[in-house]
Structure 1
Amino acid sequence: MKSITEIFGKNVFSDCVMKERLPKETYKSLKRTTELGEPLKKETAEVIANAMKDWAIEKGATHFTHWFQPMTGKTAEKHDAFISLTSDGRATMEFSGKELIQGEPDASSFPNGGLRATFEARGYTAWDPTSPAFLKEDSAGVTLCIPTAFYSYTGEALDKKTPLLRSMEAISKQALRVLRLFGNTTSQKVLTTVGAEQEYFLVDKKYYQSRKDLIFTGRTLFGALPPKGQELDDHYFGSIKERIAKFMRELDVELWKLGVSAKTKHNEVAPAQHEVAPIFSTTNIATDHNQLMMEVIQKIAMRHDLVCLLHEKPFAGVNGSGKHNNWSIATDDGINLLNPGKTPHENAQFLLFLAVIVAAVDEYAPLLRLSAANPGNDHRLGANEAPPAIISVFLGDQLMDIFEQIEAGDLNGSKDAGVIKVGVSTLPTLPKDATDRNRTSPFAFTGNRFEFRMCPSSASIAGPNIVLNTIVAEYLNRVADELEKADDFQEALKKILAQLIKDHKKVVFNGDGYSDEWVQEAARRGLPNLASTVEAYAHFDRPESVEVFEKHGVFTGCEITSRKEIVYEEYAKVINIEGLTMSQMAKQEIMPACIEYMTSVAESISKVKAVCPTVDFSVQEEIVSNISRLLFDVRVKVAALDQTIEEAKEIEDIEEQAFAYRQKVFFAMEALRKPCDELERIVAKDKWPFPTYDELLFRV
């Protein structure tokens, strides 16, 4: 294998490639567009398109595509060949500035929440020059992928990227206002940065293909726990199996080629669970990279006869998968605004940004919660593996002590971190961090960033970052308004800090988020506990939510309404597919297999009785009796599930329908699973109709 430095970014039309291939004036013009927001000139686009085409063709590309992120949560692409015909019938390779800047996919065939009718098909993709184009290599050959935004003929955003870019502009604008008040005259832009840790499961393809639930839903709808699970904690950070290591090696290479800075890889808590994490980057690029990462993991897994499961809870009873969103704020000239320094009590700028974020998370907790909501995450949040559904902030002892000092009006120092001594002379004395970590907190400060740990493993990180950027922009706006009109900046700052802490410290919790006591304490503090997707999204179009998004130009009211409808429709469809799959598997696979096994046991009793009537048959009879009893329960539960599905389907209002699927179908499915999993423990292994957990989790 070539060195990482030779491989990294080889398939990316990166800044260094553009600097090398574009005329100086064209390059400067593009940089003014990406960094200062100047409109892109037509002649500049033509030159860039030609250079991009030449670069792509040199690397074997035959097609280009506008690569975008519709509301499916996946990526979309329509491939066009570079080919063009001359008047005498010869082929030439052409790519114009217009083709670079604008595409036209069908806008009514993607989820749009009523923004587009079926007969109103026109939609546009628009080049996002802040995210570099890249080459995708697969069985189709080499394709030039151009990251784009996607919006309707009437201008509404139909994707996840457009509002993300809007939110990035909003927080930059408001953060700069605050920085100017602190005397910063050099920074021209404020960027949010993200590093998204991606968790996933790998299972053997032959077992996957034998399970209808994994194929249709991405998770196991049935499955009894094996004798061994994760209780020995031996998989986490454990030695990586040869087969998995080979897969991970190829994954690293493919990601590096695409400029995705895959840095960390390891075994996660559950058997067959793993993680890959990149170095942080600007939020829109990090979002693009995470979408690519999910796609590449699945593609590479198939090459190794493996299947990647990105579902948040593919296996009941073991840890599910999340996506930790490490979010920070920095200036374009390299100042991390969440770096506390060695003496955070003296860093007023840091403390203000910290207090603003805490206040924003407290006031807009329902928005942050819904940004991490999807059907799969409903199975994961609140269990002893993921943060609870209650939004809280972890600051640690040092910063909490500073907050308390500020509130009391007597700020005089920071707790010393100290060093760690372990009593072995040959081991170094290590500097100690100012605070411990809290893995039970949904929103934890981890030294120079916040880690939002709620995010679903299968979803785009655009949603959480849209919300974070917007709500923090709103509080920065409020603070800037107060400070700009103050006669005494220092006194006003001191007063604002104390008030923010007093009003919003209730959201700060440094304890065990898994404990029952915290649920009770959170209720006493008035913190919302939105247990499911449908409950969370009920807050999306509340007046205060619409107001903050519209104020900062991130969403219009109709874009919010459409997204709420899309989420409810998706939720109903997902649970409907799961319910139908479960019913079918129970009727067509589990029940016939159990009847066949029960019949074989009953027949063996008859045959042995004919030869030796005095033998004790109580064991065999108990097996037959238990299977018969459980089968009767399965039949009743299947009928109940089928009925709840039919009743939910008849509901016309999409929000009511989603709540019906959550409150009735969801629990009817749980009721059916219980007797089926008990049957798995009784029926002979060779008679059970599909692979079990021990095969899926331990035979990789």
Structure 2
Amino acid sequence: MTANPTRLGAIRTIEASEAPAAFFDVTEKTGAIFGENVFSLSVMQKRLPKSVFRSVYATIQRGEKLDPAVADIVASAMKDWAMERGVTHYAHVFYPLTGLTAEKHDSFMEPVGDGTAVWEFSGKTLVQGEPDASSFPNGGIRATFEARGYTGWDVQSPAYILENPNGNTLCIPTIFVSMTGEALDHKTPLLRSEAAMSEQAQRVLALFGHEDIDKVVSYCGPEQEYFLVDSAFVNSRPDLLNAGRSLFGAKPPKGQEFDDHYFGAIPERVLGFMHDTERALFRLGVPAKTRHNEVAPGQFEIAPVFERANLASDHQQLLMSTFRSIAKQHGFECLFHEKPFAGVNGSGKHVNFSFGNGNQGNFLSPGDNPHDNAQFLVFCAAIIRAVHLYGGLLRLSIASAGNDHRLGANEAPPAIISIFLGDQLQDVFEQIAGGGATSSKQKGVLSVGVDTLPDLTKDAGDRNRTSPMAFTGNRFEFRAAGSNQTVAASMVIINTIMAEALDFLATEIETSVKGGTEFNAAVQAVLAKVVEQHGAVVFNGNGYSEEWHVEAEKRGLKNLRTTVDALPEYQSPEARKLFTTYGVFSEAELESRFEIGLEQYVMTINVEANLTGEIAKTTILPAAVRYQTELATNVSALKAAGVDADTADLLRVSEMIAALRAGIGALDDAKATGHDHEGLAEAAYYRDSVLPAMLQIREAADEIETFIADDLWPLPTYQEMLFIR
């Protein structure tokens, strides 16, 4: 137990804390509460006239254009339903390029001339809002003095009610665009990219003889990793409060090396938090499915059931805000930073995705004999081509200052984007390259050697946790996304590059068939072509190995190690052609995202650098000097008493303090000239000069932490934050 009064006070607070009473009736059945706060299709069917419901249903399910005439009727029904549940205000919820969720609240109340008020909600108000756009990131699309921006109702993502003890709010998911129509958010390009992918996927389905072809959508099931740290500790750590990650902290005596936390028994207090978050999510229609301890101490994971990518993206944002809110009520802070603690695993957000529709099902389901499933092989080949040609854009989609600390660190996939197919699919595509696939490796039976247990089904291939893009049975898993990032960014890229690949494959097959080639032969030929031209991106080995980095370079695969390396992908001719061809981004929107990426990278490191310098100067250095003074006083007293004094500790601490002061000086110098650069050069300067100077300070400070008297060390330690809860 520490003798430092600040840290001891935090520990005593934790010891005295009691789990709050359950926020919801624990006797409620999940099936009864799921989606009860959602203006869902079933609610609309009960409350809307049949003709209006059919119109809205066609927009939601088949992507038909929304009929403006139905807006007033839907708005009235939505208002009545919400007010029955205690709602007084509504909010257009949107997702600006901060990566966070934004909302503007308005009351249903409308004053009338006689001094009274009525409750109104018009179709015009439902469909369009006008928040101030001047202070959100726009990358130069809007001048600072130009404030107008518009939100637009996304009917495909249902409205929902956020509950609060002081009143409930009706939340309406929307897009967010500038007055001149450029996307200022993540949802708009996601919807555009899905429309582009759907158009090309429908061409492929038509070639395979399907006639009743629904709109094709992408599905997403993002796994979310996060840390829970007691609020008493976080409130004593300015770095965690302001940057979301610890900028100082010596390695604890015990970390994650025993893997004893992984899938271990969930601590009772944490389980209480999980129960309450899940009930809140169930009410909001978020299909939370799996929960468990992750690898690092204090780290946990939640995973939902697959949904349409647009809805999954909205639900992910809602999940993160719900977790943060309920964590505070349980005395925790929920950390979504990709690397909140050095030396233990960081947090990712694995983006599992597939494509399909209501009539034709999941296009990435191979069946028992993948070699006979030509439609599946075409979609799988499209992914191979897409990832090979546009791996740099996939890397770009998960680029951030936070994720740079995690990628390639033997806890996350490398920055080299490759595909893992597994033994079964690898074998099938090798057969295709050799002239035609005639067989598929089958599942086996695994006997565990215990008579009382049944034999287990053994899959036809293993999984690969080191691959950024891994096939996992009926979907691909993009494992490189960071915990704090929106899944929309990844899905925009995945949809768009799939649109190009499916367009290419459909055109190749159509051209061959028109030229007289039999359909199956045309499919075989284009599959073989994909394997020949793009097979270099397939890698089933250890992505953590140094040998793979060498091999990947020989194969011509990009290794964009940092965000600064990845951001120029926005400006490549290939990216401009891709996004403008399929109507996902205009050239102005691409340029704006490049500028925003640079700005956010520099601002993130600048804030961290300011915190590093401040904490070092005002907290760590004074503590070290106090210890130095104690040692010096002791040495002086011993000498005065005629006793031989060992000065080794005093000299060692003095060396550490000198190293800390040198680091502070180096950081001050680096920061002083950081803004002498502009654009990409400024970002590169912060990466190459400011970050190393911060690390220099940290190394000195962390060494001091391991040497200083415990009662003098002012900051909660890794050992305390990761293991006390």
TM-score after normalising by structure 1: 0.98
Give the Cα separation in 1 of the matches to 2:449 and 2:458. 15
Residue 139 of structure 1: CA displacement? 4.9
Partner of 1:211: 237
In structure 2, the gaps of 5 or more residues are 1-25
Matches within 5 A, 1:133-212: 133-212=159-238
1:525 aligns with 2:555: yes
Partners of 2:581 and 2:61 in 1: CA distance:
23
AA matched with 1:544: E
Match of 2:690 in 1: 665
Q: Does 1:614 align with 2:643?
A: yes
Match for residue 19 of structure 2? none
Tell whether the 8 Å contact from 1:217 to 1:578 is kept in structure 2 after alignment.
yes
Q: Find 2:334's aligned residue among 305, 308, 319.
A: 308
Q: How does 1:474-513 map to 2 (within 5 A)?
A: 474-485=500-511, 486=513, 487-488=516-517, 489-513=519-543
In the TM superposition, what are the counterparts of 1:548-627 in structure 2 within 5 Å? 548-611=578-641, 613-615=642-644, 617-618=645-646, 621-627=647-653
Match of 2:704 among 657, 679, 682: 679
1:616-652 CA-to-partner distances (Å, cap 9, x unmatched) read x32xx2221111101111111111111111211222x
CA contact (8 A) 2:428 2:437 kept: yes
Moved more, 560-569 or 428-437: 428-437
- Residue type matched to 1:127 in 2? W
Whole-angstrom CA distance in 2 between matches of 1:16 and 1:243:
36
Q: Deviations over 1:266-311 (max 9, x none)?
A: 0000000000111010000000000001111110100011001100
Task: Kindly state the Cα deviation for residue 39 of structure 1 after the two structures are TM-superposed.
Answer: 3.3
1:333 corresponds to which of 359, 362, 373: 359
Residue 379 of structure 1 corresponds to which residue in structure 2? 405
Secondary structure of 2:553's counterpart equals helix
- Classify the secondary structure of the residue corresponding to 2:431: helix
Match for 2:51 among 12, 16, 25? Answer: 25
Q: How many angstroms apart in 1 are the aligned matches of 2:165 and 2:245?
A: 28
On the 8 A contact 1:373/1:533 being kept in 2, the answer is yes
* Identity in percent: 53
Match among 130, 134, 138 for residue 104 of structure 1:
130
Runs of 4+ residues deviating >4 angstroms: none
Cα distance in 2, alignment partners of residues 688 and 650 from structure 1: 37
Distance 1:310 1:623, change over 3 A: same
Q: 1:138 to 1:622 in 2, by over 3 A?
A: farther
Map 1:356-371; keep pairs closer than 5 Å: 356-371=382-397
Instruction: Quote the offset at 1:401 in angstroms.
Output: 0.8
Q: Deviations 1:649-675 (Å, cap 9, x if unpaired)?
A: 222x22211111111111211122111
Once the two structures are superposed, residues 336-379 of structure 1 have per-residue CA deviations (whole angstroms, 9 ceiling, x without a partner) of 10000001111111111101101100110000001011110000
Name whichever of 489-498 and 72-81 sits farther off. Answer: 489-498
Take 2:185 and 2:672, find their aligned partners in 1: how far apart are those partners?
A: 32
Aligned to 2:496: 470
Q: Does 1:128 align with 2:154?
A: yes
The separation in 2 between residues aligned to 1:603 and 1:614, in whole angstroms, is 14
Q: Among 436, 445, 453, which residue is 2:479 paired with?
A: 453
Residue matched to 1:692:
717
1:507 is aligned with what amino acid?
A: V
Alpha-carbon distance between aligned partners in 1 of 2:691 and 2:211, rounded to the nearest angstrom: 55
8 Å contact from structure 1 (residues 387, 453) kept in 2: yes
Shift of 1:86: 2.2
Aligned pairs for 1:52-91 within 5 A: 52-91=78-117
Equivalent-residue separation in structure 2 for 1:455 and 1:181 (angstroms): 34
CA displacement at 1:216 relative to structure 2: 1.1
Q: How far 1:187 sits from its partner (Å)?
A: 2.0
Alpha-carbon distance in structure 1 between the residues aligned to 2:134 and 2:713? 44
**Worse overlay, 632-641 or 480-489:** 480-489
Measure the CA separation in 1 of the matches of 2:253 and 2:442: 47
SS in 2 for 1:364: helix
1: distance between equivalents of 2:664 and 2:643?
39
Residue 344 (structure 2) pairs with residue 318 (structure 1): yes
Matches within 5 A, 1:251-266: 251-266=277-292
Q: Is the 8 A contact 2:228 2:299 kept in 1?
A: yes
Question: Which AA in structure 1 matches 2:541?
Answer: G
Residue in 1 that maps onto 2:9: none
The alpha carbon displacement at 1:140 in A equals 4.7
Q: Aligned AA for 1:304?
A: H
Distance in 2 (alpha carbons) for counterparts of 1:431 and 1:562: 50
One-letter amino acid of the counterpart of residue 195, structure 2: E
Q: Quick check: 171-180 or 475-484, which moved more? A: 475-484
Aligned-partner residue type, residue 662 of structure 1: R
How much does 1:334 deviate? 5.1
Q: Distance in 1 between matches of 2:164 and 2:292?
A: 26
Q: Distance in 1 between matches of 2:623 and 2:696?
A: 20
Aligned to 2:15: none
Paired with 2:224 and 2:112, the residues of 1 have a C-alpha distance of 48
Contact 2:63 2:215 in 1 (8 A): no
| Residue aligned with 2:229, SS | strand
Instruction: Look up the equivalent residue of 1:680 and give its one-letter code.
Output: E
Alignment partner, residue 240 of structure 1: 266
After TM superposition, give the deviation of residue 433 of structure 1 in Å. 1.0
- Letter aligned with residue 701 of structure 2: C
Alignment check: 8 A CA contact 1:623 1:682 kept: no
- Structure 1, unpaired ranges of 5+: none
Residue pair 1:191, 1:332 contacting (<8 A) in 2 also: no
Q: Deviations over 1:33-90 (max 9, x none)?
A: 2234433333310000000000110000010000000000001001000001122111
The letter of the residue matching 2:498 is: V
C-alpha contact (below 8 Å) 2:382/2:498 kept by paired residues: yes
CA contact 1:151–1:159 (8 Å) conserved in 2: yes
Check whether the contact 1:128–1:148 (CA below 8 A) recurs between aligned residues: yes
Match of 1:249 in 2: 275
Shift in CA distance, 356/41, structure 1 to aligned 2, threshold 3 Å: closer
Q: Which moved more, 1:203-212 or 1:661-670?
A: 661-670
Q: What is the DSSP-based 3-state SS (H/G/I as helix, E as strand, rest coil) of the residue aligned with 1:690?
A: coil
Q: Deviations over 1:63-119 (max 9, x none)?
A: 000000000000100100000112211121110001100000111210000111112
Secondary structure of 1:540's counterpart equals helix
The answer on whether the counterparts of 1:593 and 1:689 sit within 8 Å (CA) in structure 2 is yes
